[in-house]
């Protein structure tokens, strides 16, 4: 039986078998067993006097075991139920001298280096169960809304998206690369007969499917070769990208807000125990921090706040006014001072707006065309585009999206102005040639959502094996 279901069953002395890993073994008598199904450990009581000594010795923290016994109401304090062990089998021992995950507090940095074993801690198992539930919540939400799930390519032949630096995909021999007559690398000799990269976003391909299936979403890995060594950036991350025919920017913002609230409600219900544990963990962490750095709200409080309150919708122009007149700007406390309209917002500005000024999630919209991608729909002012970013407390940007430019000539002009090769986007432009229609979409960074939902502070701790500059271990 899984410990999760066992703990929900009443104990009448029935015989049960459980399998898992020993978290602790106390006094040669009490095994705290965890099988990953739930946060809680199951206490298993062995009768050491009747047990073979070698077997007893092999029950160490980290060992994989099978335990059979009678499930009874616990005689001791601290747990309601326990197993009186009648039979115990050790599948694999864990040498206490070298097994790194000992029953004591390990730092997150230390555990990052043991990423293959860290899921055997309470914190990481809780984070990963919440991550898994969130992924399911995402699929459930879109299915209920009538969306189709599409898989866009990971290896892409188009590098026009402009969302970030790309990783090259090649099967060429690096020591002996074929060259053209001009001396540059001859990609016609490469596997795909052309230059290819790992995708930075599935959006452009998702748009083609929205213009046939109506409402679609992707949920897949995306890659960015930026040298951003921050607690919010990964070189490989998972993105959810819905794309909807006949949606304008307001419909897009409504959907994004409903979507985020919906998946958070889902985990509040599904992951109560894990979230309570993570909430408590955050409170403990906070105790060791100076007052100014402590979170103003507990984790559960923060999630409920987002679920229960409307996101504040603010135009870029309004936001610039707020920032310009803000204390940190006047006192030159920002690294990048905001002095004129058109400035790109840095995460310090986004966090000021969300955490200090509006004190709630904010949707910023209608950004200057000059700082946004070519595909965003031009407004009548000819200066701003129908873009929207959702900014979250403690996270910064969690969603980026827009209404797409559906007018062929306008799109061609923007492509030209941005120096992009139109030829490369022939298929994307075809969507505007044949049955074009208003449409919109957005991308949500899945790990940033998991960060928010778990109260963890480093994005490296919410994905099993993080890829960041100078690090692709495991
Ligand atoms: O704002 P971005 O770059 O938007 C796009 O890629 C659009 N094509 C999406 C669309 O409209 N379909 O990225 C979207 C989101 C960001 O808001 C952020 O949450 C996340 O992806 N993100 C990252 N997450 C982790 N590490 C990184 N390096 C990220 N870059 C973006
Ligand atoms: Mg963005």
| Banded model confidence at residue 78, pLDDT cuts 50, 70, 90 | confident
Report d(CA 227, CA 243) in Å as an integer: 29
What single DSSP character describes residue 27?
T
Identify the pLDDT of residue 67: 98
The number of the ligand nearest the C-alpha atom of 247 reads: 1
- 164 CA closest ligand 1 atom index: 3
3-class SS of residue 210:
helix
Q: What is the pLDDT of residues 288-302, one digit of tens each?
A: 888 888 888 999 999
For residue 72, the surrounding DSSP H or E stretch is strand 64-73
50-54, 65-69, 116-120: segment of lowest average pLDDT: 50-54
Lookup result for tokens 């009874």: 72
Ligand 1 lined by 152 (C-beta under 6 Å): no
As a whole-number percent, the residues of the chain with pLDDT over 70 amount to 99
Ligand 1 lined by 398 (C-beta under 6 Å): yes
Angle (CA) 115-118-123 rounded to 5° is 130
Ligand 1: residue whose CA is nearest its atom 25 = 233
Residue 362, both tokens: 């904010």
**d(CA 370, ligand 1 centre) in Å:** 18
User: Quick one: angle between helices 122-144 and 446-454, nearest 10?
Assistant: 120
Edge-to-edge strand list for the sheet holding 384-392: 148-149, 215-223, 236-245, 439-445, 396-403, 384-392, 362-368, 312-315
What single DSSP character describes residue 47?
-
Nearest to 386 by CA among 425, 339, 442: 442
| Banded model confidence at residue 163, pLDDT cuts 50, 70, 90 | low
Q: What is the pLDDT of residues 414-437, one digit of tens each?
A: 999 998 989 989 999 999 999 999
**d(CA 110, ligand 2 centre) in Å:** 31
Distance of CA 49 to the CA centre of its chain: 49
Give the DSSP letter string of 375-407: TBPBPTTSSEEEEEEEEETTTEEEEEEEEB---
Report d(CA 167, CA 223) in Å as an integer: 7
Nearest to 46 by CA among 90, 3, 6, 11: 90
Q: Taking ligand 2, which is a single-atom ion, which protein residues have CB atoms under 5 Å away?
A: 400
| 280-287 contacts, C-beta under 8 A, 24 or more apart | 281/123, 281/455, 282/455
Q: What is the pLDDT of residues 311-333, one digit of tens each?
A: 999 999 999 999 999 999 999 99
Mean pLDDT, the chain, as a whole number? 96
| Banded model confidence at residue 79, pLDDT cuts 50, 70, 90 | confident
- Please say if the pLDDT value at position 76 is more than 90: no
Identify the pLDDT of residue 45: 97
Report d(CA 220, CA 50) in Å as an integer: 53
Angle (CA) 231-232-238 rounded to 5° is 130
The number of the ligand nearest the C-alpha atom of 162 reads: 1
- Please say if the pLDDT value at position 286 is more than 80: yes
Identify the pLDDT of residue 289: 87
**d(CA 369, ligand 1 centre) in Å:** 18
Ligand 1 lined by 442 (C-beta under 6 Å): yes
In sequence order, what are the beta bridge partners of 403? 440
| Banded model confidence at residue 4, pLDDT cuts 50, 70, 90 | very high
- Alpha helices by DSSP H, 69-174: 108-112, 122-144
Report d(CA 456, CA 463) in Å as an integer: 11
Q: What is the pLDDT of residues 219-269, one digit of tens each?
A: 999 999 988 899 999 999 999 999 999 999 999 999 999 999 999 999 999
> CB neighbours (10 Å) of residue 18?
21
Ligand 1: residue whose CA is nearest its atom 28 = 233
Q: What is the pLDDT of residues 111-160, one digit of tens each?
A: 999 999 999 999 999 999 999 999 999 999 999 999 999 999 999 988 76
Report d(CA 170, CA 183) in Å as an integer: 18
The number of the ligand nearest the C-alpha atom of 201 reads: 1
Instruction: Indicate yes or no: pTM above 0.85.
Output: yes
Q: What is the pLDDT of residues 348-400, one digit of tens each?
A: 999 999 999 999 999 999 999 999 999 999 999 999 999 999 999 999 999 99
Question: What are the chain's domains?
Answer: 3-102 (2.40.50.140), 120-165+200-461 (3.30.930.10)
3-class SS of residue 412:
helix
| Banded model confidence at residue 196, pLDDT cuts 50, 70, 90 | very high
């Amino acid at each position: 039986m899984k410990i999760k279901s066992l703990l929900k069953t009443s104990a009448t002395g029935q015989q049960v078998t459980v399998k898992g890993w020993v978290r602790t073994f106390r006094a040669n008598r009490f095994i705290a067993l965890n099988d990953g199904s739930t946060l809680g450990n199951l206490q298993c009581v062995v009768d050491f006097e009747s047990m073979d000594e070698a077997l007893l010795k092999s029950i160490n923290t980290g060992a994989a075991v099978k335990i059979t016994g009678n499930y009874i109401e616990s005689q001791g304090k601290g747990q309601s139920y326990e197993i009186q062990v009648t039979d115990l089998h050790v599948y694999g021992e864990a040498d206490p001298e070298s097994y790194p995950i000992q029953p004591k507090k390990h730092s997150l940095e230390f555990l990052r280096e043991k990423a293959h074993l860290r899921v055997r801690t309470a914190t990481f198992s809780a984070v990963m169960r919440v991550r898994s539930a969130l992924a399911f919540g995402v699929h459930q939400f879109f299915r209920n809304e009538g969306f189709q799930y599409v898989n866009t390519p990971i290896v892409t032949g188009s590098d026009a998206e402009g969302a970030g630096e790309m990783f090259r995909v090649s099967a060429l021999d690096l020591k002996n690369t074929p060259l053209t007559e001009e001396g540059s690398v001859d990609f016609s000799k490469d596997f795909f007969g052309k230059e290819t990269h790992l995708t930075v976003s599935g959006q452009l391909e998702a748009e083609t499917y929205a213009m046939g299936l109506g409402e679609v979403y992707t949920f897949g890995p995306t890659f960015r070769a930026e040298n951003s060594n921050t607690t919010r950036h990964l070189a490989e991350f998972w993105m959810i990208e819905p794309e909807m025919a006949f949606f304008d920017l307001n419909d897009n913002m409504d959907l994004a807000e409903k979507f985020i609230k919906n998946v958070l409600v889902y985990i509040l219900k599904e992951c109560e125990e894990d979230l309570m544990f993570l909430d408590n963990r955050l409170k403990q962490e906070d105790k060791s921090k100076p007052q100014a750095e402590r979170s103003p709200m507990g984790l559960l409080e923060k999630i409920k706040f987002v679920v229960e309150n409307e996101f504040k919708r603010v135009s870029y122009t309004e936001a610039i006014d707020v920032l310009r007149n803000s204390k940190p700007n006047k006192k030159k406390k920002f690294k990048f001072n905001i002095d004129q309209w058109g400035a790109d917002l840095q995460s310090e500005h986004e966090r000021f707006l969300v955490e200090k000024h509006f004190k709630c999630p904010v949707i910023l919209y209608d950004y200057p065309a000059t700082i946004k991608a070519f595909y965003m729909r031009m407004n009548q002012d000819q200066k701003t585009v129908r873009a929207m970013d959702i900014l979250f407390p403690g996270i910064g940007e969690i969603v980026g999206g827009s209404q797409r430019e559906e007018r062929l000539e306008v799109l061609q002009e923007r492509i030209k102005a941005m120096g992009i090769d139109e030829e490369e986007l022939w298929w994307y432009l075809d969507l505007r040639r044949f049955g074009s229609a208003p449409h919109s979409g957005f991308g949500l960074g899945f790990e940033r959502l998991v960060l928010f939902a778990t109260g963890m502070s480093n994005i490296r701790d919410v994905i099993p094996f993080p890829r960041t500059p100078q690090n692709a271990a495991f």
